[in-house]
Amino acid sequence: MVSNLDESETSLDRRTELGREEALLKTGALQDAIFNSANFSSIATDEKGVIQLFNVGAERMLGYLASEVVDVVTPADLSDPQELVARAKALSVELGTPITPGFDALVFKGN
């Protein structure tokens, strides 16, 4: 026999679980809306710097299709080489350590 207290706890647990599921769905929907927005550029790389995620905003802003860059290039490959050299030099001076132009110049120190 199940007591009223047990039923109440079970009901509360289920409502709590439903609330969590609803929050996750809302969060997922918001993340999807941001990721699929042409107004936000989202680019993510793996630990080696190779692009793994390139949303429609990045496509619009940079002029490349995701299919052209994902698993193919790093953000440094899409950057102005002269800007990478200048950034690497500036970081090298600031940090007192040699920074090579390329992906390291983009990620060595976050802005």
7 or 82, higher pLDDT: 82
83 and 111 housed in the same domain: yes
1 and 31 housed in the same domain: yes
- Give the helix/strand (H/E) hosting 80: none
5 and 31 housed in the same domain: yes
* Gap between the Cα atoms of 58 and 64, Å rounded: 8
What confidence tens digit (pLDDT) does each residue in 34-68 have?
A: 777 778 888 999 999 999 999 999 999 999 999 99
Q: Which residues contact 74 (CB under 8 A, 6 or more apart)?
A: 45, 48, 49, 50, 51, 102, 103
Question: Which residue segment(s) compose the domain that 13 sits in?
Answer: 1-35
Number of domains the chain is built from: 3
User: How crowded is residue 91: how many other Cβ atoms within 10 Å of its Cβ?
Assistant: 20
69 and 89 housed in the same domain: no
Whole-number pLDDT of residue 46? 94
31 and 19 housed in the same domain: yes
28 and 12 housed in the same domain: yes
104 and 92 housed in the same domain: yes
Q: Which residues pair with 45 in a beta bridge?
A: 51
pTM as predicted: 0.66
* Gap between the Cα atoms of 75 and 61, Å rounded: 13
67 and 91 housed in the same domain: no
